[in-house]
Chain A
Amino acid sequence: MKKLITLSICLLLIAAYAYSNGTEESEKKATLQVILNQTWNKPSFEPGLREYEEANPNITIDLQVIPDEQFSSLLKTRIATKQYPDVYLDNFGQISQLYKVPELLVDLGNESWVNRLLSTDGVKVDGKIYGLPMNGTPSVQGFVYNKDVFENVGVEVPTSYEEFVAVCEKIKAAGIAPIAVTAKDNWTIGMWIIEIMPQVVMEKANIWTDLNTGAVRYNEIPEFAMAISRMKELVLDKGFANKDFLSTTYDMGNTMVAKGEAAMVVQGDWACADIAKNFPDANVGMFPFPIVSNPRFTSGFTPAFTILKESKNVSEAKALLEFLASPEQMKNIANDWGYVPAVTDVQVVLNPWIQDVVDNYISKGQSPIPEMGVTSIISIGELAKNATNMLTGSMSSDEVMTEWQIYFEEQATIRKLPGWN
């Protein structure tokens, strides 16, 4: 009996071996794991991938859509445990903060679409190109507001903190939540941080280099403490936030603004696109976060497709990126996200809010300044988490900055970054 079993197992293995060899000779079948977070799985993305699958019967695309909150920790765990996906969509700035890009990603500098890109600034590390960007110019970040609410209440777009507080008071008096705070999704608190922090130190030259090399400390800069305490003032002390903001998610916040239950939300221009899709009648626009006088938009967000070096199907993954870079797909992406297309041979009608931003700010010389996600060498996730702690009432604004300084030093030291030995 035992011999029989052994024999049959041997035969089975031989058969399997022969079979696997046979297929390899004829045509390689490959499964490409494409991983992205839920909010980024825009309507025309998946149909595009399925279309590609149909045209290439050898390729199966395993699209892994991860809930926003778990995306980055899950991906980090997968990379740490060497369970690499093939194609990975994330904010390129974030990727370059978290990983050693030249070791993790495939250099895409020789791909045919590179020459068609409007700008490669967002996807470069040490002069080499590691990603296929989804936008030609980085996303603009500021307040997304419901224009109708502003009109009905009779307020204008504020340009200083004092004006902003006055505007919020009026909106609150009209029975509308002035600011939709969506703290259930921690990254949306991160949006506050990356927008307000660079603005308060706009006037200081070299401040970010000094912070990154440890020449100055975060908790010694009064402007940062002011920014964080203003955040607390707006949300808690003055009560400009919606009720139950700790249980409110990004989508819920957008809905509130679209329906006029809240007047504005701290977001990037993608939120306008999401609102416009679900509520075509909503009249939304953007203005820079008035944490200081003469506020500026921030930017630096470049979502990009990247290929992991450890992928077993690099050439297939490159072919997929080639497809995604085709004018048709790039047009879909630009329309889905409301972006300026990443490639020069695609023209889309700019969304009204982008046109607004261009007309009212950028053409007047007020171009966006880099967001903190770009200026800081350490990912701001921990700072955002502690800011949320502050909004639950368990930390003071000073503690937030002290804790961030401790965390920043700790992280910079364990990574042995330049200036931190």
Chain B
Amino acid sequence: MQQKRKYNIGKTYSPLFVIPGFTVYALFFLIPVFIGFYYAFTDWNMYLDEISFAGLANFRRMFTHRVTSLAIKNTLIFSMVTTIGKNFFGLLLALALVKTLRSGNIIRTIFFTPSILSYIVIGVLFSSILHPSGLLNDTLSLFGLSNFTRSWLADKDIVMYTVSAVEIWQWTGFHMAIYLAGLLSIPKGLNEACIIDGANAAQRFIHVTIPLIVPTFNVNLVLSLIGGLKVFEQIYILTNGGPGSASQVINTQIFEAFGNGEWGYGTAINLVLFIFITIIALTVLNLLRRKEIEL
């Protein structure tokens, strides 16, 4: 404490020290981003020699384009479903594993492993598991549940949920780890005091655990929301947007636009996604901040 105070008195570094870092940041991030904003309003594509200002044409096209609207809808479905799933199962796992001591670490590692696998591995693995004559359907038929077999990745009505389920499977362990950290930081004394006062497990969970893990919950929620909105690899590898365009998301649309040489249009979709994420993330963060309590 004493040392900290010593540094604060009259010994702050000159703000000029920010300049080198800021220059690099501005040069390689800020300036390109703002130039990008400009190109979103042009007709820049690989077939034209001159770039000209196109006003809001790209945005108009985006919101009238059938597939892009579908992609926005799919992205929202994906981020909602995965956010709920990852947090629900992550919290459940964390609560189950916070107590076990000996085998705990091994089990935690097992649950955490999927999140360190690359999307390619997951994609190849689940493409064959979810194939109409793959492991999942075969297992279902084996137990006499053939009514429940589906073409998981080829049925337009369920493909988004299938991909979401794979995503939840992969990242639950990661969110479990964050929840575990939050749960372990709750002072033991509080729970012990409650036990002495005669509170049961449910009461302790609602009145002690939940309020104290709200900050952890916020981190998890925002991470999974942003992750969901930015979805690309999962879709690209598992379905490539198919069948037809049933599982197109915003980022696969951007990828396609750039691939087609429609750079202005691609940048425009990207800008919308950026604004989208910023608004959603900031709103959620602000709403939840208020619920946090300081110990």
Contacts and interface: CB of A to CB of B under 8 A. Distances in A.
A223 B131 CA distance: 36
A392 B243 contact: yes
Contacts of B246: 389, 392, 394
Given A73-B259, A76-B259, A247-B154, A385 B245 contact: yes
A141 interface: no
Interface string B266-289: 000000000000000000000000
A184 to B, nearest CB: 8
A414 B153 CA distance: 34
Nearest to B244: A389
Given A73-B255, A247-B151, A410 B61 contact: yes
A392 B156 contact: yes
A159 B261 CA distance: 42
B259 A80 contact: yes
B48 interface: yes
A414 B132 contact: no
B260 interface: yes
A126 B239 CA distance: 39
A79 B132 CA distance: 36
Contacts of B245: 385-386, 389
A77 interface: yes
Given A244-B133, A247-B154, A414 B244 contact: no
B43 interface: yes
A244 to B, nearest CB: 4
A415 interface: yes
B260 A76 contact: yes
Given A246-B154, A393-B156, A186 B242 contact: yes
B45 A415 contact: yes
Interface string B10-48: 000000000000000000000000000000000101111
B61 A80 contact: no
B47 A246 contact: no
A415 B259 contact: no
Interface of A: 69-70, 72-74, 76-77, 79-80, 98-100, 183-184, 186, 243-244, 246-247, 385-386, 388-395, 403, 410, 414-416
Contacts of A99: 46
Contact of A80 (B155, B258, B265): B258
A244 B155 CA distance: 10
A54 B156 CA distance: 51
B99 interface: no
B130 to A, nearest CB: 9
Given A73-B256, A73-B259, A415-B47, A392 B153 contact: no
A388 B243 CA distance: 7
Given A73-B255, A247-B151, A415-B47, A394 B132 contact: no
Contacts of B240: 69-70
Given A76-B261, A80-B261, A388-B244, 8 more contacts: A80-B259, A186-B242, A247-B131, A386-B244, A389-B243, A414-B45, A414-B47, A415-B45
Q: Give me the 6 closest cross-chain CB pairs, A-B, nearest first.
A: A389-B244, A246-B154, A73-B259, A415-B47, A388-B244, A244-B132
A69 B151 CA distance: 20
B22 to A, nearest CB: 25
5 contacts: A186-B242, A243-B132, A246-B151, A389-B245, A391-B243
Contacts of B244: 385-386, 388-392, 394-395
A385 B67 CA distance: 11
B262 interface: yes
Contacts of A386: 244-245
B263 interface: yes
Contacts of A76: 259-261
Contacts of A74: 259
Nearest to A81: B258
Given A247-B132, A388-B244, A391-B244, A80 B46 contact: yes
Contacts of B256: 73
Nearest to A416: B48
B188 interface: no
B43 A414 contact: yes
Contacts of A184: 154, 242
A403 B66 contact: yes
Nearest to B134: A247
From A72, A99, A246, residue with most partner B Cβ within 10 Å:
A246
Contacts of B156: 389, 392-394
B123 to A, nearest CB: 12
B154 A77 contact: no
A394 B133 CA distance: 23
A246 B256 CA distance: 21
A415 B265 CA distance: 13
Contacts of A415: 45, 47-48
B132 A77 contact: no
A376 B123 CA distance: 35
A184 B153 CA distance: 10
Interface string B43-59: 10111100000000000
Contacts of A72: 259
A77 B242 CA distance: 20
Nearest to B262: A414
Contacts of A393: 156
B159 to A, nearest CB: 9
Contacts of A243: 132
B59 to A, nearest CB: 14
A77 B259 contact: yes
A11 to B, nearest CB: 27
Interface string B213-231: 0000000000000000000
A76 B256 CA distance: 10
B237 to A, nearest CB: 10
B47 to A, nearest CB: 4
B294 to A, nearest CB: 46
Contacts of B260: 76
A404 to B, nearest CB: 11
A300 B182 CA distance: 64
Nearest to A76: B259
A177 B227 CA distance: 43
